[in-house]
Amino acid sequence: MASDRQYSPVDRLLLQADVALRTLLPFSGQPTRPSPAVVQPETELDQQEAKHIAGLMRINHTGEVCAQALYQGQALTAKLPEVRAAMEHSADEEVDHLAWCEQRIHQLGGRPSVFNPLFYGLSFGVGALAGLVSDRVSLGFVAATEDQVVKHLDEHLVQVPEHDEKTRAILEQMREDESHHANTALEAGGIKFPRPVKFGMTLLSKVMTKSAYRI
């Protein structure tokens, strides 16, 4: 996304709406990197394995929908141009993850969660609110959120069979990117959230994961 010198506040709102549509409409996001799964061999999975892995990837896809909304909300209200630029760069990388997860879900015979529009709206609101409070809080929220995502990815990597190299390749690259996003946010001045706040975020993430896995 471009800087404030090029777009008015109304223009930026319209761009945010465009991003929301491209995030939520099937196969609308255009990744800048090819999926890591492309170079991995196709593996035959039984019906139960495919269903379970599709559920895990649906969780990850919804997580990326939330991340995209979070970053867009923060970029809208960030006070410093460099913080806004950092949010927008991270959002661009999340588009890759979004597309990779969606591709894998369809390959496994599944579909994205029907709750994605709801989670997008909630996450956008949280991101915008964090940006309004302060850039340090906004960056700290990014770091805490990405830490949660990394934990989910670690749990999923344990559950994905070793022979499903396509899914594992996607999750491993996502983990690397998300860990980098967390470190970047802290290095940019983000505050470290106290344990009770992180615990609350964990409880909310469980609501998302349980609903997204099934529907």
User: Residue ranges for the binding site?
Assistant: 64, 94, 97, 146, 178, 181
What's the rounded Cα separation, in Å, for the pair 185 and 201? Answer: 17
What's the rounded Cα separation, in Å, for the pair 185 and 87? Answer: 9
In a 13 Å sphere around the CA of 212, the CA atoms on its Cβ side amount to 26
Amino acid at 29: G
Phi first, then psi, for residue 188 (nearest 5°) are -80, 0
User: Which residues are annotated binding-site positions for Fe cation?
Assistant: 64, 94, 97, 146, 178, 181
Query: What are the Cα distances from residue 212, in Å, to 38, 149, 178, 183?
Result: 25, 14, 20, 27
Concatenated DSSP letters of 128-194 = HHHHHH-HHHHHHHHHHHHHHHHHHHHHHHHHS-TT-HHHHHHHHHHHHHHHHHHHHHHHTTPPPPP
